[in-house]
Structure 1
Amino acid sequence: MLDFDDSRLENADVLDAAAPLLMNLAGSGARVRREAATAEAPLAALTDADRPRAVIAYGPEARLLRAVLEPVCPVPFVAWPALGLPGWVGPLDVVLLIGRRGPESLAVAHEAVRRGSRVVVICPPDSPLALQADSRSTTLLPVSTGDPLAAAVVGLVALHRLGLGPYTSTDAIAAALDTVAEACSARTDVSVNPAKAMALDLADATPLVWGGSVLAARASRRIAEALRQASGRVGLSADASDLVGLVQQVAPRDPFEDPFEQGVAERRAGLVLVDDGLDDAAAAESRLRLQRSAEAADIRVTRLTHRDDSMMERYATVLLTGLFGAAYLQIGLGRTA
């Protein structure tokens, strides 16, 4: 088992060696700007002249689009998880494809074109998916970075142009990501760096991650996945009721335990609460239960909070902060080699 060494978070040589990991996260805002600029012309050509019967989204971040669109979309919005399309999809519907490798998206594109649906496909222009989806009813929104969040932002802009979703400011989302990258940069001291502070909180913990709103819950799942990959430990994002049960099972901390004696204690849980300020009454009550349960069990709580700006700016901010936290946990554990 690898031990966490907090000195690695301030060691210039270690941070330089981990630069590719951190620079990839820091470039998130730039990738949003690049994809929006690349797709600018076909986005401008989209209009809301003909309202579809329904929208079916497929691909990475399709559920993110549904979380943003479902409360306000004037037609049914489906994030389709399976191969193919629902049997009722036809010429009256819009199929939005966010490209990825593999035969699944090719099969969905083939089926959408065969049925005469209006297709909006977000993928590299020279990819097999672009060729498969080509038709008179297809709009290709070219992207090139492979960043699923940036592609999803392009999709949100397209849905707004079609009159199906709220206005999405790519500049504002990119600026929010840039702000996180600056706050979480390698040269920022741990005392003012929320991502390094999160890594310290989870240095020897099993992470439990929870978010109350639909978007915060989605961010919590992405963060938990990143923490699992970064640490090699079990990490869980689940409903509050499940996490409360796990927290309540944690044994009280023994004040006489020797932390340097091997085999003395099991790894304790660490709770990460994602807060985008969009909790409903039930989520607010669940958050309070989790906090009280963690306090009673003497479990450390990390809070990722951004309660201002648009839904997507909040989501992007808490998500990227959590991803930076996972990266610094990986660095502190010496798992970047």
Structure 2
Amino acid sequence: MTDFDDSRLDDPEALRAGDAVLRPLAEAGARLRREAANAEPALAGLGNEGRPRAVIAVGPEARLLRAVLEPSCPVPFVAWSNLGLPGWVGPLDVVIVLGGSGIKPFDCVHEALRRGSRVILTARPGTDLANRAESRLTTLLPSTTTDPLCRAIAALMALHALGLAPYVDPQAIADRMDAVAAECAHSRDIAANPAKMLALELADAQPLIWGGSVLAARASRRIAEAVRSASGRVALAADASELVPLLAETRPRDLFSDPFEDQGSDRRPSLVIVEDGLGDAAADEERDLLEKRARLADVRVSRLEHAADSELVRYATVLQKGRFAAAYLGIAMGRPPGS
């Protein structure tokens, strides 16, 4: 069953069926607090470490770390996506392994220790990966979750302790996650729930998602992944240069078309703008162009916005709003979680 039915968004039985998706989103703030508290003892000894030559991050959300650190990190930072490590990595460098699955994290840990690099690892204590990484060169940030955002924030806390990253306030991020969970709670009806409203706006659409700043663009890609997973539909997150031609090719709606005869036709695009207030003048121009093209093509424009607080608080806020909307889209389509 894949037809969108907005009555499911206020149907207790349908919402209970979606609990496996909604509950982890609602508990995101609590997970982050636990992760940060677990990491604190391990962070105490990092302040005595000298500045490394470079930092190499491996695993889920390595690119998020790069997006946060690029403007201010005093040493080169590499988000590495291949097996092994770059050939130049050695004893003067720090390798951050953000958990992950398969052989990749094991291979990177093995290579880093073989070369004498300092290793910072987020992993559940007692797992094969944590045991394999045991060494005087390893700092384990004990993790109780597979949530990649929580692990990334713990790693940013470690990098701050090394003097390589700005201060990260996990409590402030967790508080905003809690606020989003309350705002998007399943018990709130559609009119008072922004996530349900966005799901309604995407009911018959192919989402085109754009973020102007580096972090907003990162959030847009994660939201597109959530929409694809929840709905089974195509959802594209891309730069304005890729989205403008798609909007330009979209014809305005035909006011005289028969909606019942057109049910089998391709879904019209819908533009979702992720706005965190951190974009530059060029991003403002791109947003204005996208909105203009959308108006000309009679394409709906939706917004996910949060332009206050620190950059990571903004990132987590728009990301969680988008993920809640994706979850409600799947529920309204009657798709079982994980299908």
Give the TM interval when normalised to the shorter protein.
over 0.9
Q: Is the 8 A contact 2:95 2:117 kept in 1?
A: yes
Shift of 1:65: 0.4
Shift of 1:255: 0.7
User: Structure 2 matches for 1:67-216, cutoff 5 A?
Assistant: 67-216=67-216
Counterpart residue type for residue 72 of structure 2: V
Shift of 1:234: 1.2
Shift of 1:266: 2.4
In 2: Cα distance, 1:60 partner to 1:43 partner? 21
Shift of 1:87: 0.8
Structure 1 residue 223 and structure 2 residue 232: aligned?
A: no
Counterpart residue type for residue 274 of structure 1: V
Counterpart residue type for residue 3 of structure 1: D
Distance 1:188 1:263, change over 3 A: closer
Structure 2 equivalent of residue 324 of structure 1: 324
Counterpart residue type for residue 30 of structure 1: A
Q: Secondary structure, in 3 states, of the residue corresponding to 2:140?
A: strand
Q: Is the 8 A contact 1:48 1:163 kept in 2?
A: no
In 2: Cα distance, 1:114 partner to 1:271 partner? 48
Deviates more, 1:39-48 or 1:165-174: 39-48
Deviates more, 1:125-134 or 1:102-111: 125-134
Structure 2 equivalent of residue 54 of structure 1: 54
Q: Is the 8 A contact 2:172 2:313 kept in 1?
A: yes
Shift of 1:244: 0.8
Q: Is the 8 A contact 1:308 1:314 kept in 2?
A: yes
Shift of 1:128: 1.6
Counterpart residue type for residue 250 of structure 1: T
Where structure 2 has 5 or more consecutive residues not aligned to the other structure, the ranges are none
Q: Could you give the per-residue CA deviations for residues 178-226 of structure 1, whole angstroms, max 9, x where no partner exists? A: 1110000001121121111110110000011110111100100011111
Q: Is the 8 A contact 1:73 1:165 kept in 2?
A: yes
Structure 2 equivalent of residue 251 of structure 1: 251
Structure 2 equivalent of residue 275 of structure 1: 275
Q: Is the 8 A contact 2:61 2:149 kept in 1?
A: yes
In 1: Cα distance, 2:214 partner to 2:33 partner? 25
In 2: Cα distance, 1:218 partner to 1:45 partner? 31
Distance 1:255 1:265, change over 3 A: farther
Counterpart residue type for residue 35 of structure 1: E
Q: Is the 8 A contact 2:58 2:97 kept in 1?
A: yes
In 1: Cα distance, 2:193 partner to 2:159 partner? 36
Structure 2 equivalent of residue 34 of structure 1: 34
Q: Secondary structure, in 3 states, of the residue corresponding to 2:251?
A: coil
In 2: Cα distance, 1:255 partner to 1:89 partner? 62
Q: Is the 8 A contact 1:9 1:332 kept in 2?
A: yes
In 2: Cα distance, 1:264 partner to 1:28 partner? 38
Counting aligned pairs with the same residue, the percent is 60
Counterpart residue type for residue 123 of structure 2: C
Structure 1 runs (4+) greater than 3 angstroms displaced: 262-265
Shift of 1:78: 0.7
Structure 1 equivalent of residue 286 of structure 2: 286
Q: Could you give the per-residue CA deviations for residues 46-83 of structure 1, whole angstroms, max 9, x where no partner exists? A: 21540100000101100000100111011111111111
In 2: Cα distance, 1:242 partner to 1:2 partner? 28
Q: Could you give the per-residue CA deviations for residues 108-151 of structure 1, whole angstroms, max 9, x where no partner exists? A: 00000000011111111111211222211111110011111101
Q: Secondary structure, in 3 states, of the residue corresponding to 1:252?
A: coil
In 1: Cα distance, 2:146 partner to 2:265 partner? 42
Shift of 1:239: 1.1
Q: Is the 8 A contact 1:219 1:319 kept in 2?
A: yes
Counterpart residue type for residue 288 of structure 1: D
Q: CA RMSD in A?
A: 1.2
In 1: Cα distance, 2:257 partner to 2:330 partner? 26
Structure 2 equivalent of residue 20 of structure 1: 20
Q: Secondary structure, in 3 states, of the residue corresponding to 1:47?
A: helix
Give TM-score scaled by structure 2 length. 0.97
Q: Secondary structure, in 3 states, of the residue corresponding to 1:39?
A: helix
In 1: Cα distance, 2:17 partner to 2:115 partner? 51
Q: Is the 8 A contact 1:258 1:264 kept in 2?
A: no
Q: Is the 8 A contact 2:117 2:137 kept in 1?
A: yes
In 1: Cα distance, 2:221 partner to 2:329 partner? 17
In 2: Cα distance, 1:282 partner to 1:80 partner? 28
Shift of 1:279: 0.6
In 2: Cα distance, 1:51 partner to 1:199 partner? 47
